[in-house]
Amino acid sequence: MEVNPPKQEHLLALKVMRLTKPTLFTNIPVTCEEKDLPGDLFNQLMRDDPSTVNGAEILMLGEMLTLPQNFGNIFLGETFSSYISVHNDSNQVVKDILVKADLQTSSQRLNLSASNAAVAELKPDCCIDDVIHHEVKEIGTHILVCAVSYTTQGGEKMYFRKFFKFQVLKPLDVKTKFYNAESDLSSVTDEVFLEAQIQNITTSPMFMEKVSLEPSIMYNVAELNSVSQAGESVTTFGSRAYLQPMDTRQYLYCLKPKKEFAEKAGIIKGVTVIGKLDIVWKTNLGERGRLQTSQLQRMAPGYGDVRLSLEAIPDTVNLEEPFHITCKITNCSSERTMDLVLEMCNTNSIHWCGISGRQLGKLHPSSSLCLALTLLSSVQGLQSVSGLRLTDTFLKRTYEYDDIAQVCVVSSAIKVES
């Protein structure tokens, strides 16, 4: 009959505790009116309770703090802190103690130990303490692996480890939308508006310390989340920057291409990188969290091979009086030269002045030319500028441009202010 040897007990004990800040102690106030049967009994008990605030006993929040009673929730972007203690429970001197702490995620294994050097010896009733910190950057299951190796007085090498599993939750729900700007000079411009919707999906309020957009090298950014009052910038969210559970806040940013990129046609086309959001918040007693989104991308509006935009146009013109506009024609192709012919087609209200079908000459790739045109309107009201046609004689391809802009036409008896 085979007898298994008794399992040898370890001389060292391992304790692992998560370090979190305490919470404010809360109590449920019980009170009644003096004419009721208990009289002033309940009120006196609350005044004698050391956890209540003197003079404000009916408030649920007291002056005391409560230590964490459980592991609690860990959210993405927060700093996970843990206290690790190895205690010598035996009456022997233990040598060559090595404590190692690793954090296993779904994609990697991280070493969190402050030092990988072994401790020479540990006397009875003495301990080795360590505090580890890690900024959580992944959601899902995390496993803290604590391993201890040591040598007994008899020279026997011992080893054991413990596993502590916890879940990392998502604190915020971030949604983004892109809007292409519209202006009076062109139906589509290179300006981009970004709307970021941030929702607090935790169970406690958040103090939003910072929400900013870090643009890519192609853009400059302007925040549109404040207004000017009496010469001072005031946030549109009011004086309280708190975000209650399940509440959503919208942030707006305007991005403009830098001059060196805006002047080169064809660069800002297709999928372009806009930048990334940087969000910093605080919860409870000041626990800080930070999230950075991945690079935000958008599909730039397509201009085709040739882009026509307006550089200058008056807001208001007189009826049946000529006015001038300035057009900019850009070859968006990166490798093909174009030979362009301009045709001007009259509409029911807009009449072009000048020669239609004139040669504009060759336009090299990623280059532009400005063109001054004259026209008049025979109908009052808000009129749409339409009827321009560009033909590439090389490919025999015609590009049509209608509803380029709008202009207000008034009677000549009304003086138009310049």
Per-residue pLDDT tens over the stretch 318-372: 998 999 999 988 887 778 888 999 999 998 899 999 888 889 888 888 788 899 9
| Cα separation, 250 vs 195, whole angstroms | 7
Tell me the average pLDDT across 216-221: 87
Confidence tier at 298 by pLDDT (50, 70, 90): confident
Q: Which of 95, 98, 142 is nearest to 117 (CA)?
A: 98
| Cα separation, 98 vs 86, whole angstroms | 10
- CA 157 to each of CA 10, 94, 97, 113, 127: distance values in angstroms, whole numbers, following the listed order: 11, 10, 10, 21, 19
Average pLDDT, the chain: 83
The full length of the chain comes to 418
SS3 45: helix
Is residue 255 scored above 70 in pLDDT? yes
| Cα separation, 336 vs 158, whole angstroms | 75
Is residue 396 scored above 90 in pLDDT? no
Please, are residues 274 and 216 in contact by the beta-carbon 8 Å criterion?
yes
Confidence tier at 268 by pLDDT (50, 70, 90): low
SS3 261: helix
- Go through the domains of the chain in sequence order and give each one's CATH number: 12-20+69-169 (2.60.40.10), 26-63 (no CATH), 172-298 (2.60.40.1230), 306-410 (2.60.40.10)
Confidence tier at 228 by pLDDT (50, 70, 90): confident
* C-alpha dihedral, 179 to 185 to 190 to 191, nearest 10°: -50
Is residue 190 scored above 50 in pLDDT? yes
Tell me the average pLDDT across 364-389: 90
Output the pLDDT for position 187: 41
Please, are residues 21 and 286 in contact by the beta-carbon 8 Å criterion?
yes
Please, are residues 316 and 410 in contact by the beta-carbon 8 Å criterion?
yes
Query: pTM higher than 0.75, yes or no?
Result: no
Following DSSP, what letter does each residue of 229-240 receive, concatenated? ETTEEEETT-S-
| Cα separation, 10 vs 15, whole angstroms | 14
Say which residue the tokens 């599909």 belong to.
299
Range with top average pLDDT, 31-35, 115-119, 298-302: 115-119
Confidence tier at 418 by pLDDT (50, 70, 90): very low
* CA atoms in the 13 A half-sphere facing the CB of 20: 20
**Vertex 66 angle, CA 114 and 137, to 5°:** 40
Pairing of strands 94-104, 79-88: unpaired
| Cα separation, 344 vs 357, whole angstroms | 7
Task: At 39, list the tokens.
Answer: 């009289």
SS3 71: coil
Is residue 233 scored above 70 in pLDDT? yes
Task: At 283, list the tokens.
Answer: 């919860």
| DSSP β-bridge partners for residue 383 | 407
Is residue 185 scored above 50 in pLDDT? no
| Cα separation, 292 vs 275, whole angstroms | 10
The letter for the amino acid at 137 is K
Tell me the average pLDDT across 39-63: 73
Output the pLDDT for position 281: 92
Comparing 266 with 319, the larger pLDDT belongs to: 319
Pairing of strands 397-401, 388-392: antiparallel
Output the pLDDT for position 198: 93
Range with top average pLDDT, 24-33, 47-56, 229-238, 369-378: 369-378
Task: At 381, list the tokens.
Answer: 């009201």
| Cα separation, 293 vs 194, whole angstroms | 14
